[in-house]
Chain A
Amino acid sequence: MKHIVTVSKANLKDTLKTGGCGECQTSCQSACKTSCTVGNQVCSK
């Protein structure tokens, strides 16, 4: 494409079929602890 660069292509909806195994590390949304906010995690699969 000439005018738009896709930096990251994803489809979260697809992960409804493949995700939910629960094996990833627990996240913490607070600012007090290990700060593993969910958006800053990676899938452990």
Chain B
Amino acid sequence: MNLANYDFDANLHRFEQGGERIVLDVNSGSLHSFDPVAWEALKLLEELRGNWGAVQEQLTQYDQAEVAEVLQELQALAEEGTLFSGDPGPYEPAFPAEPIIKAICLHVAHDCNLRCEYCFAGTGDFGGDRSLMDLEVGKQAIRFVLSKSGHRKHCEVDFFGGEPLVNYRVVKELVDFGRKAAEEAGKTIKFTLTTNAVLLDKQVREFLEANDISVVLSLDGRQEVNDQMRPYADGSGSYGLVAENIKAFVAEQTNPSPFAVGTYYYVRGTYTHHNLDFDQDVLHLAELGCRQISVEPVVAGPEAHHAFREEDLPVLASSYERLAEEYLARRGSPAEFNFFHFNLELGKGPCLPKRLSGCGAGYEYLAVSPDGTLYPCHQFVGKDEFKVGDVFSGTVNLELAKKFRASHVYNKPECRRCWARFFCGGGCHAAAHNFNGDLRKPYKLGCQLQQKRLECAMYIKVKEAAG
């Protein structure tokens, strides 16, 4: 195979972790584990711009027969398309002229019983008045998604806030209404609810269970970590009640899906500059009995006391690596847990069109504020320039929809040659807008942490394959 013009940087990712030498073939999505001879051969092949003969001549520290074997193996992988594969793009995903809206985020409450320091929603009010969604607005939003979802059979409704359980009565009625309306439309609605668990009592738990509602529960980990960032309005910590409620909830969950398909739960925390050793918070959640855990980096402007600094990155990388080792050590034991970002099904992952289109904000997925105004996603709610319509008129701003769907990885200069481009969906639109004022310029720190998480996930794959 002629590799003279092959873009190694953009199309192969090599890294070492825990004594493993790992190679991702970016375009095929294939993952390989190399021995030392193969590793050195690949490095040299890149340095020599694909000069196979020179690799054989220069790898004199190894047995020449072994080097010849390695080169044959590299060639064989190239021929089967799992190494040195080319980028399928530039490829413009095909979109219908009229956006197909299949998912909505219902802001049933712009109010919250907590005052989390890092809340992107301005502690629940999204920069406006504290308000609750009326039942009629919610019903109209459900009619909207059912009518705008075209031929899609599966629609999604996420109850969000603020804190959705402060408007529990409306949540309950909308689930009942949504089920019937979906059935009449020949569709199904998958409901999820994102809650801080303050109001997650037995009655609510039974309702969620009876209605197959997936749940994302917020708790940051250790008490002192959680309470520093997640106080009640009076400043007192929320850990005590929240941890008890979450323990009761997860104790009733049997065999939840680790991939956020079907009915699932995740206990989700946020880590900040104040707990760079967040792996300890993941383990704390596991000790509480949580088996499905996702702890993620805060997104905050540089002025915030909890925002990350440049020097935090290597510390965070070490925390991810420690977490990967603990994750592996606990596999198969009663103490095992799933960490969302370590779940990577390389062979059964999403198709390329999905990988390119990412979250679909603005054209497949919209957020609905309590008064029925539509925004590209929950993070844009309250930003007037991003209003895309309302559920009553049923119209969607096509120009904004086009702008969002054109903001895919092939149209982002920093993504086009990034090795992680088919795993991240091009990053978060809101973060790109908030940090760089440009949907096509991704939030760099988010990218760096995403890359580290992916490396750890791939390392785990390699270790698990080796038994």
Residue positions of A touching B, CB distance < 8 A: 1-13, 15-16, 18-20, 22-44
Q: Which of A1, A39, A41 contacts B76 (CB 8 A)?
A: A1
Most buried by A among B349, B360, B427: B349
Q: Are B29 and A8 in contact (CB under 8 A)?
A: yes
Q: Considering the chains assembled together, what is the distance between the CA atoms of A16 and B446 in angstroms?
A: 27
Residues of A within 8 A of B38 (CB): 3-4
Asked if B190 is an interface residue, CB under 8 A from chain A, the answer is: yes
Indicate whether A36 sits within 8 Å of B260 (C-beta atoms), given known contacts A5-B32, A8-B29. yes
**In chain B between 429 and 467, which residues have their CB closer than 8 angstroms to a CB of chain A?**
429-431, 446, 450, 454, 461-462, 465-466
Q: A20-B354, A24-B350 are in contact. Are A1 and B454 (CB under 8 A)?
A: no
What's the Cα separation between A26 and B380 when bound, in Å? 17
Q: A8-B29, A37-B450 are in contact. Are A25 and B354 (CB under 8 A)?
A: no
Contact of B29 among A12, A29, A32 (CB under 8 A): A12
19 pairs, A vs B, C-beta closer than 8 Å: A3-B69, A4-B73, A8-B30, A8-B31, A9-B347, A10-B82, A11-B28, A16-B352, A18-B351, A19-B350, A20-B353, A23-B153, A31-B296, A31-B298, A33-B378, A39-B344, A39-B422, A39-B454, A41-B260
B37 at interface by CB-CB < 8 Å? yes
B428 CB → nearest A CB, Å: 4
A40 CB to closest chain B CB (Å) equals 5
Evaluate contact between B424 and A1: CB separation under 8 angstroms: no
Q: Which of B343, B344, B428 contacts A31 (CB 8 A)?
A: B428
- Shortest Cβ distance from B42 into chain A, in angstroms? 9
Judging by beta carbons under 8 Å apart, are B91 and A5 in contact?
no
> Hey, which chain B residues are within 8 Å of A22, CB to CB?
100, 102, 152, 354, 364
Residues of A within 8 Å of B299, CB to CB, are 30-32
Extra A-B contacts (14), CB below 8 Å, given A5-B465, A34-B158, A44-B154: A4-B77, A7-B461, A8-B29, A12-B351, A13-B81, A15-B350, A19-B351, A23-B152, A27-B354, A37-B341, A37-B423, A39-B355, A39-B422, A43-B348
Compute how far the CA of A42 lies from the CA of B345 in the bound complex, rounded to whole angstroms. Answer: 7
Q: Is the beta-carbon distance between A27 and B347 smaller than 8 angstroms?
A: no
Q: Shortest distance in angstroms between B24's beta carbon and chain A's nearest beta carbon?
A: 9
Give bound CA distance, A1 to B359, whole Å: 38
Residues of A within 8 Å of B349, CB to CB, are 10, 39, 41-43
Partner of B102, one of A26, A35, A44: A26
Main secondary structure of the interface of A (DSSP, over half): loop
Nearest 5 A/B pairs, CB to CB: A19-B351, A39-B423, A15-B351, A10-B29, A20-B353
Chain B interface residues (CB < 8 Å from chain A): 27-35, 37-38, 66, 69-70, 73-74, 76-77, 80-82, 85, 88, 91, 93-94, 100, 102-103, 105, 120, 152-154, 156, 158, 160, 190, 192, 194, 216, 259-261, 266, 268, 270, 294, 296-299, 340-341, 343-355, 358-360, 364-365, 377-379, 420, 422-431, 446, 450, 454, 461-462, 465-466
Q: Are B359 and A26 in contact (CB under 8 A)?
A: yes
